[in-house]
Amino acid sequence: MFIDLSTLSPNRVYFTLIQTIIPRPIAWVLSDNGTGAAQRYNLAPFSYFNAVCSDPPLLMVSIGKKPDGSIKDTRRNILERGKFVVHIAHSGQVDAVNASSADLPAGTSELDALGLETVAFGDFPLPRLRDARVAFACERYQVMEVGEQAIVFGLVRSAYIDDSIAVADAQGRLQIDALGLDPLSRLGGDQYGVLGQVVTRRRPR
């Protein structure tokens, strides 16, 4: 099958891309809506997400608009306050990740609705989810508007890695146990993926 994407509607292009570029990592993003109240923390998943640079350490998340055309809460919070936390969810958190994508009214916290606990993240002003095995404390680095999307580049200031999945190798480099991290990923439609098998190959010199 040959598909000329210029003949497809944006919706069809979307479905073609998200069902073929798989699995996609999921950024489970905590941001601050600035109310200073108990409902101040917003949480939502984004699978247009990846690491893009290590010097400086940057990741990117591409955030669209709500069906009514308004800006998604995470996007607005990052634009207005600049700080956010990206978590890597494990497979046991699939229901919470999925539920946190519900379009709640701005100012209503997914954390409360889902009963998720947070803990302090060093001296970063935002907390991290207690039960996520990896979290990144990020600052807005640059935002590029592309079509309806805002591609947010986040500068990773610090990382939390659960001790149970991290060991140092003989050279003192951090080794993360991929199966222990057990990252949830996004497939097409309503599907999620979990790691099945890890295969190892040394890169040729």
Q: Which of 184, 205, 202 is nearest to 193 (CA)?
A: 184
Distance CA 128, CA 148 (A): 29
State the nearest-atom distance from the C-beta of 201 to ligand FMN, in Å.
Answer: 29
Give the residue carrying structure tokens 């990846």: 50
Closer residue to ligand FMN in complex, CB, 32/73: 73
State the nearest-atom distance from the C-beta of 12 to ligand FMN, in Å.
Answer: 17
State the nearest-atom distance from the C-beta of 166 to ligand FMN, in Å.
Answer: 25
Distances (CA, A) of 193 to 41, 60, 190: 27, 21, 10
State the nearest-atom distance from the C-beta of 73 to ligand FMN, in Å.
Answer: 4
**Both tokens of residue 86?**
């990206």
Closer residue to ligand FMN in complex, CB, 72/83: 72
Contacts to ligand FMN by CB under 6 A: 26, 42, 44-48, 62-64, 72-74, 98, 101, 103, 186
Closer residue to ligand FMN in complex, CB, 48/160: 48
Closer residue to ligand FMN in complex, CB, 72/128: 72
Classify residue 195 as exposed, middle or buried by CB count within 10 Å of its CB (0-12, 13-18, 19+): middle
Bridge partners, 57 (sequence order)? 54
Residue 71 DSSP symbol = B
